[in-house]
Structure 1
């Protein structure tokens, strides 16, 4: 959820105070009356917001509200569940055919909404369309070189390297070959309908994933994003997607079903600083920071602690026992490595006072608060540090020049859980980071299946290129008047709509 939410909500409240209340406004804008928020409504109907000035084509849509609706109209080859496990959707199977090459077999029982059968040519065409949504599918193109037709039911996926989670990247919507960017011919659970100005979706009879209970979904036109919070609270709409990337998103309401985004916030270190280049020191910093407090105080419990470089729910994580050194042990370890406490109460290293800078992008208030929190934790152990919050362009140039001691950054590992940016520093173009080529090779061995996850995590703890702090979450925010047992995922908040009760 983006743009002008708080300002728009204030404007709408002012509007309501002078024109007879929300019911009159709703009638003027939408026609009819809003549902009462006093009692939970039956989930046999569903009201979703739509931007009528935006497309519902998956490669032309720009707004979050429309993009979330496209998951009902179009299916991908695979979907990634909340354990980051790829699950077949339009694909029947995927097999490795060589180093970095995979064969995907399509289901033979799938038809588009116009009655035509799904073929490999549709998959190839859809892959070509992903160029139009680089913001969403940039990682697909940095990992997959090509998707080509083998026969009518088989496509060859050629990746730049072997990847155990390659199917997670094959989550792009499949559209009919040659149908155009605004075409609504998909294989999804619902079909778009328009009649007498009414826009709605009907359950597809040919798709077994369509809900038998929610047979129609009404698309409610929203004037702009600023009306969404009030529309949710009043029951004008029932649910919407948010990634909680902006502070205004938290004003949407407390009723939400959360899911993992794959966005990790972390501390990076300079290899040019005598202290931060020490892996033992970076290990101790990880022990100093209370991740639970960052989750609750900064991200309002819309995040999970990152105890490894992987998301907490990642399917391949082994059981682990995480150490808690305690304050006395941390202070002792600092002394043992020569970071001594002076009479001033601050520490020195190699006969020089320790005074670290924590670089952060000033345009992201969440990460600024993370930086401030890290500085406070360092100070608790006698390590003097200060936040340097600079504008984004300056932030990038400082990182590229290695002009920092520590920095706060965020990167999305994507649906294939690619943690290589945390190892190589490539996510922010760093030249002076603590990356290690040997660790990166170990990660590629894990992707290829020749090293298990426990072995990789042991190597990561040896090198400590960064300190993962938290993985952010997104949510399906629902109206108080609507009840459903939702299990949303990052690609599809309606993932289990056929099971809603």
Structure 2
């Protein structure tokens, strides 16, 4: 299952979202959007100028969802949308720092609960129509409307109203102060009201945005084709005439395509192949938030006592897991976010490999002859980790039966409450990198209330209270202190907690691309990238 889906919205949940608004994904062979300049052929090199040549890339995942940015959760369409759509504010793909795109500057604070944003003059959608304040209001209101079950709504619950002051200015009223407002609105992409209202299903299949690249066609397990948006007048114009994204779930096929020159970049290089990619081809592994987490069903009597959950974490030989299964491409979790994160806080509880402590905790909890089923997703590297988890737990007398299956099937069981424990990948940092967003994803709302049964606990209530308090603070130091309290709390509870944070290996041909950077999230970005 794609990492973005695993980050919190599995395929089953996505189908629930889409059914709520009657959207059916329609990605078919030969699906082509109107317009767009003729390409100069697949694989053609450019002269280094603006809009020259064709970029070809190898992506890891097929199209599991459509492209509507309000609801898409698939890794590949989400990555494509970074090129097709703009927000008022977007995140730099490599640094995850917020920057204005459709807005001329970061939203201006009028008072504690009012912000205004001014649109870029002359901005146009791919059909040639002007981007207006009305389109911005429409884009936010459809996200906020509960009937639409938007994936993005959970990230902007603080917005009360959005209105057009004039054709180029939008005003936001907040329900309460939220200090991270200017960067958080990057989760909402601006869409053309007229096109979406006319045919939402068609829009999901043939997206129309205002970004530097326009959609041409998509074939579910083959490729996505995009071309330069000639009328784009924003800060990040297309530097290639055309892009062809090959959808290659077979990792060996991606590596072969890079080595043969068929593509100029690939994501998700298998760890075992990293050293074998040399010469003009380069691989760089970037530390990400992307984690392997353990999640326990807190309604199961075996895991009601947090000492049992703690014991299972202490028993893990995480260093061995990283060196053996991931060939060193990860860091053990010492806090909720990795040590490279600007707001990193070392947790008061760090789960080192301590078999004696694990056994002591199990004995104190009265957990004798503990046995259960550990579900895992069938992601390649997760399957490699699975036997090492079982081995670690066997060392303290715990018998874990491994159940490895596709992500959708596993989360279907989870959402029915039919599970004991789950080990899976996740990465909500694709939506934003601030600690509030990253914590709310797993510890506020859907996951603790619907998935791992933590909602009735005093710890959960305290977590929600701390996050809400921090959200309204303008004092950065005080906000970080409250986030630190949450970090300590969720580490101690271990209801859902990371084992490790992965490094993501990306491969590319250095003399074929200009300005290319590997990402700290799943996917590839060719914003500000050209053909050499």
Task: Give the TM-score band, short-chain normalised.
Answer: 0.5 to 0.7
- Per the TM alignment, residue 376 of structure 1 is displaced from its structure 2 partner at its CA by 1.7
Partner of 1:236: 262
| Structure 1 residue ranges without an equivalent (≥5) | 3-29, 341-348
d(CA) in 1 for partners of 2:169, 2:98:
18
Partner of 2:88: 77
* Equivalent position to 2:375, from 351, 355, 360: 360
Secondary structure of residue in 2 paired with 1:360: strand
* Equivalent position to 1:331, from 343, 353, 356: 356
C-alpha change, 1:477 and 1:201, in structure 2 (3 Å) is farther
C-alpha change, 1:319 and 1:261, in structure 2 (3 Å) is closer
Aligned residues: 441
Post-superposition Cα deviations, 1:346-370, rounded to whole Å, max 9, x if no partner, equal: xxx63x6332324214644544444
- Per the TM alignment, residue 409 of structure 1 is displaced from its structure 2 partner at its CA by 3.6
d(CA) in 1 for partners of 2:249, 2:85:
24
- Per the TM alignment, residue 140 of structure 1 is displaced from its structure 2 partner at its CA by 0.8
Does the alignment pair 1:441 with 2:465?
yes
Query: How do 1:206-217 residues align onto structure 2 when only pairs under 5 Å count?
Result: 206-210=233-237, 214=239, 216-217=240-241
Partner of 2:133: 120
Partner of 2:34: none
Partner of 2:499: 469
Partner of 1:419: 439
2:283/2:507 contact within 8 Å kept? yes
Partner of 1:307: 334
Secondary structure of residue in 1 paired with 2:517: coil
- Per the TM alignment, residue 64 of structure 1 is displaced from its structure 2 partner at its CA by 6.5
TM-score norm. by structure 2 comes to 0.63
1:367/1:409 contact within 8 Å kept? yes
Post-superposition Cα deviations, 1:434-483, rounded to whole Å, max 9, x if no partner, equal: 76322232233233336423333233344333331234565654247625
> Which moved further from structure 2: 253-262 or 141-150?
253-262
* Equivalent position to 1:47, from 45, 54, 61: 54
For the pair shown, which has the larger CA radius of gyration, 1 or 2? 1
d(CA) in 2 for partners of 1:200, 1:75:
16
- Per the TM alignment, residue 105 of structure 1 is displaced from its structure 2 partner at its CA by 0.7
Secondary structure of residue in 2 paired with 1:79: strand
Does the alignment pair 1:170 with 2:177?
no
d(CA) in 2 for partners of 1:222, 1:377:
39
Secondary structure of residue in 2 paired with 1:419: helix
| Structure 2 residue ranges without an equivalent (≥5) | 3-38, 197-202, 218-224
1:191/1:202 contact within 8 Å kept? yes
Partner of 1:497: 528
1:163/1:448 contact within 8 Å kept? yes
Query: How do 1:67-466 residues align onto structure 2 when only pairs under 5 Å count?
Result: 68-81=79-92, 82=94, 84-91=96-103, 92-94=105-107, 103-109=115-121, 111-112=123-124, 118-127=131-140, 138-144=150-156, 148-152=162-166, 153-157=168-172, 164-166=179-181, 167-179=183-195, 181=203, 186-189=209-212, 200-201=227-228, 206-210=233-237, 214=239, 216-220=240-244, 230-240=256-266, 242=267, 255-257=282-284, 262-271=289-298, 276-299=303-326, 303-318=330-345, 327=354, 331=356, 334-335=359-360, 337=361, 339=363, 350=366, 353-361=368-376, 363-364=378-379, 366-380=381-395, 382-389=396-403, 393=409, 396-397=412-413, 400-401=416-417, 404=420, 406-414=421-429, 415-416=431-432, 417-423=437-443, 426-427=446-447, 429-430=450-451, 432-433=453-454, 436-449=460-473, 451-452=479-480, 453-466=483-496
- Per the TM alignment, residue 487 of structure 1 is displaced from its structure 2 partner at its CA by 2.8
